[in-house]
Structure 1
């Protein structure tokens, strides 16, 4: 199997594909849950990246969705992800809002990003001093140690621009105020 750039990319693929296949088979989450012998919430968690399904879950759900030929592929990816550290190394640098760790993982696994910033330099291009001023200026009551952690997180994210093998291709449009 190829080297993982980001487990979040694979987790997202699993979630989107499970949802797409379920809908294509015109199976409701409630019906999928009944087939698996669990609650509808558990199916929702699979489809929202909150939890990975177990390989045994995939072996029940995919044939129910009419996708028997994909069981082995899903089982292999899920098994591989169990042994891979989650994309939380960046998130540990600063407390991040729920769900932002997923964004960080997807950003780290992306091949290209296009962005538009109307008022500030894009985060992946910010100099340390500029990023620090933004962190402190956004929340005047932010403790200094948290501002430093958030700035470190922003700067650490920039490593994706010169990573070995496949650096991120960043296309950005930034407009300055008049």
Structure 2
């Protein structure tokens, strides 16, 4: 934003009475915490629109709560920029609606399941990088168990997720058992399964996630989409509404949580 306004770093620090190193740390993401007043001052100077201001203020609030674990040198090398942005949003979200067609939802995956997926998807990466990717996935799951306002997760999966064997039978039994145990233990987690018998459905174009935020966060709901090459976030209201409607239809097509968990329990026996 500074470059877009044509301002030099020296002009900014002179106007705000900052040290040059402070601005450099903010622009390179080296700060451990970021003050919301600093973000607001820069947004004001650069003429940022309201949505951008709210977005960046939300990021600043995450750093103040020490939830921005993905910024550590351990994880940073293996996290793509768009996914890093998503992690910041996920950490501040109040609810997440997730539809998965092929995989167990990331927040419900076991470490063994995650490892097999990454070993096949990233065959050119070193063992250390795969370990980091696994660690990132496992660290994300803390949002379901945090003491203050745990994330409300509603996950819907295609029946294929239960049938497709990732690893061996024991791994799949452990993974599906983890889903059942998590859904039964945590009141903020709800899982449903769209059976093959439901026929065509609005999730056939692929996975998606809809995130909503607390009223005080001043952030609009978003849709996160992902494919083999990259991921992207949309804040456009028509997009959010479209995916909201698709998720509502999927919920109506799928058996309720209790019957869905019974489907998963039957799949455990079949594996």
Name the TM tier (shorter chain): 0.5 to 0.7
User: Contact 1:161/1:167 (CA < 8 Å) preserved in 2?
Assistant: yes
Q: Secondary structure at the match of 2:81?
A: coil
In structure 2, the CA distance between the partners of 1:138 and 1:58, relative to structure 1 (3 Å rule), is same
Q: How big is the shift at 1:101?
A: 1.4
Q: How big is the shift at 1:165?
A: 1.7
Residue 83 of structure 2 is matched in structure 1 by 100
Structure 2: runs of 5 or more not aligned: 9-27, 30-37, 161-195, 197-271
2:73 is the alignment partner of 1:90: no
**Greater share of strand residues, 1 or 2?**
2
User: Contact 1:87/1:104 (CA < 8 Å) preserved in 2?
Assistant: no
2:132 is the alignment partner of 1:170: no
Q: How big is the shift at 1:176?
A: 3.1
In structure 2, the CA distance between the partners of 1:120 and 1:38, relative to structure 1 (3 Å rule), is same
| TM-score, L = length of structure 2 | 0.38
Please give the alpha-carbon distance, in whole angstroms, between the structure 2 residues aligned to 1:105 and 1:56: 20
Size of the aligned set, in residue pairs, is 124
Please give the alpha-carbon distance, in whole angstroms, between the structure 2 residues aligned to 1:149 and 1:56: 33
Residue 152 of structure 1 is matched in structure 2 by 135
- Please tell me the root mean square deviation across aligned C-alpha atoms, in Å: 3.9
Q: How big is the shift at 1:60?
A: 8.5
Please give the alpha-carbon distance, in whole angstroms, between the structure 2 residues aligned to 1:56 and 1:137: 43
Where in structure 1 do 4 or more consecutive aligned residues deviate above 6 Å? Answer: none
Please give the alpha-carbon distance, in whole angstroms, between the structure 1 residues aligned to 2:159 and 2:93: 27
Please give the alpha-carbon distance, in whole angstroms, between the structure 1 residues aligned to 2:135 and 2:46: 44
Considering Cα pairs closer than 8 Å and 6+ residues apart, tell me whether 1 or 2 has the greater RCO: 1
User: Contact 1:115/1:172 (CA < 8 Å) preserved in 2?
Assistant: yes
In structure 2, the CA distance between the partners of 1:57 and 1:164, relative to structure 1 (3 Å rule), is closer
Residue 55 of structure 1 is matched in structure 2 by 41
Counterparts of 1:7-156 in structure 2 under 5 Å? 33=5, 38=7, 55=41, 58=44, 61=47, 84=64, 88-92=68-72, 93-94=74-75, 95-156=78-139
Please give the alpha-carbon distance, in whole angstroms, between the structure 2 residues aligned to 1:101 and 1:108: 11
| TM-score, L = length of structure 1 | 0.55
In structure 2, the CA distance between the partners of 1:142 and 1:176, relative to structure 1 (3 Å rule), is farther
